[in-house]
Structure formats: structure tokens, C-alpha cells
Amino acid sequence: RFTPEREKAIPRGAYLPFGMGPHTCIGNAFAMMEMKIALALIVQRFHLSHVAEHLVELDALITLRPKHGMQMTLEER
């Protein structure tokens, strides 16, 4: 059952969708390749634009990323 309070109790970095070490998911490489193909198809078929009204606040972790996501619009090419 989903409860929003539970999410606050989960430590940051606890999400490991493919596992680690000897227990790594055997579908990891396939899933990553599938995501790359999906992203390539989206970029080929659509023109992506940033929504100007949405302020992008950056979060510097191991990599630089948008703190609250990034709103985009898609237009068919």
C-alpha cells in the first residue's frame, strides 16, 4: 500500500533498480540498451524545447542535474 510518509523514511541512495555485485539483474544491459534506443527515437522524431516559464534549479551531486526536473515540450519533426 502506498503511503507518502514511507517515502521520507527511505534513505537517499537506497534505490538500486538493478541490484549490485553478484546479485545484479541479468536484464541490466538489455534495459539500458532499450532506454538508449527509446531516447534516440524520441530525439529523431521530435523537436524538444525547454519551457521558458519553468525555472531550472541545478543540484550538484556526482553529476549536475535539475533539482525539480525539467519541463519540456515536444513537437513532431
Instruction: Give the predicted TM-score (pTM) of the model.
Output: 0.59
Question: If DSSP codes are grouped into helix, strand and coil, which group holds residue 74?
Answer: strand
Distances (CA, A) of 2 to 7, 14, 16, 18, 58: 9, 17, 19, 22, 29
pLDDT tens-digit readout, 5-45? 877 777 776 777 888 788 888 999 999 999 999 999 999 99
Helix (H) or strand (E) holding 72: strand 72-76
